Amino acid sequence: MDHVDLDDGRRMDIRVTGPESGRVLLFHPGTPAAAARLRALERPAYERGLRVVSVSRPGYAGSTRRRGRSVVDVVSDVDQVLRQLGADSTLVLGWSGGGAHALACAARLPQASAVAVIASGAPQPAEGLDWFAGMHPGNVEGFTAAIEGEPSVRPLLEKELPDMLAGSAAELASVMADGAAEVDRAYLSGELVEDFLAGNRAALEAGVDGWCDDALALVNDWGFEVGEIAVPTMVWHGGADVFAPVAHGEWLVGRIPGVRAHLFPDEGHFSVGVGRMGEILDELISFG
């Protein structure tokens, strides 16, 4: 199955892989990204008998745009996806820009039994958090523009779009490594970057709508409070992360009821997700 038709007439692209009878793992990819192959996740998931369901949020790939969407709006979309798949229970995983959307599922998705987020940002604004402290200059520029609104952020993303579509895996690795933690650079090669590149291209083939709407959703009211979360939830974050500084993870840890915290001083934005994916999935399974 490559898409579902939603009740309001929109289309949502999905990727469903792994054993048909396996426990469902709903994956929210980062920003920008589509429901595309991510071997760093899929390989260990299959080893554990999981059926991976990845989603392209509205505006990405073939998913119909939902202008003005908030983070919580993803819940009604994935609820319909799961119902069409016949899944009455799911584990949920979100990485980077997908983290907020996974937390929305933790708060509001009836089928969610356990949730993990990797390198997730906090809401903006977040009381007591210096939101931009320690953040990569490129992310500071992009999120500052998003706070100003679509007229500011859209031209910035459109300027980056040609390079995102035309660049090679080696060029993407170079861009991602610029300013990244040393521990992350060791992971930015081979199949991981190849999969990120393919996911970016799939997400942006129709333009920057999804990317723009993601950025706006992340810096505006998420539409729920993390204090609502009642299902087992895990926060995995690296202290050397410059794309989503660890203070964001610490903020979430301090406000999600019953959270299980995994904060690693010497890990980065990618090393946690790639290097510890097996541990993350094992913990999800144990609580879900």
Query: If DSSP codes are grouped into helix, strand and coil, which group holds residue 90?
Result: strand
Read off the tokens for 118: 């990797």
Q: Looking at the whole model, is its pTM more than 0.85?
A: yes
Residues 92/102, Cβ–Cβ less than 8 Å:
yes
What pairs with residue 236 in β-bridges?
118, 262
Q: What share of the chain is helix, strand, coil (3-state, %, to 5)?
A: 45, 15, 40
Q: Which of 47, 79, 29 is nearest to 202 (CA)?
A: 29
Read off the tokens for 207: 């333009």
Residues in the chain: 288
Residues 63/181, Cβ–Cβ less than 8 Å:
no
pLDDT in tens, 45-87: 999 999 999 999 999 999 999 999 999 999 999 999 999 999 9
**Strand runs labelled E in 169-226:** none
Read off the tokens for 54: 């990845």
Residue 94 contacts by C-beta under 8 Å, 6 or more apart in sequence? 27, 28, 100, 101, 102, 103, 105, 115, 116, 117, 118, 120
Between CA 107 and CA 250 the distance in angstroms is: 18
Q: What angle do CA 270, 272, 278 make, to 5 degrees?
A: 120
Between CA 116 and CA 165 the distance in angstroms is: 30
Q: How many CA atoms lie within 13 A of 71 on its CB side?
A: 33
DSSP letters along 124-154, please? SS-TT--TTTT--HHHHHHHHHHHH-HHHHH
pLDDT at position 173 is 86
Q: Hey, what domains does the chain have and what are their CATH numbers?
A: 3-287 (3.40.50.1820)
Residue 119 contacts by C-beta under 8 Å, 6 or more apart in sequence? 95, 96, 99, 236, 237, 238, 241, 243, 244, 249, 269, 272, 273
At position 88, the amino acid (one-letter code) is D
Neighbours of 11 (CB within 10 A): 16
Which strand (E) or helix (H) includes residue 35? Answer: none
Read off the tokens for 16: 């469903």
Per-run averaged pLDDT (10 residues), the chain, 288 residues: 94 97 97 96 98 98 97 98 97 98 98 98 98 96 98 96 84 86 92 93 95 98 98 98 98 98 97 97 97
Task: 131-134: list long-range contacts, CB under 8 Å, 24+ apart.
Answer: 131/248, 133/245, 133/247, 134/242, 134/245, 134/246, 134/247
Q: How many CA atoms lie within 13 A of 136 on its CB side?
A: 17
pLDDT in tens, 230-245: 999 999 999 999 999 9
Residues 218/31, Cβ–Cβ less than 8 Å:
yes
pLDDT at position 177 is 87
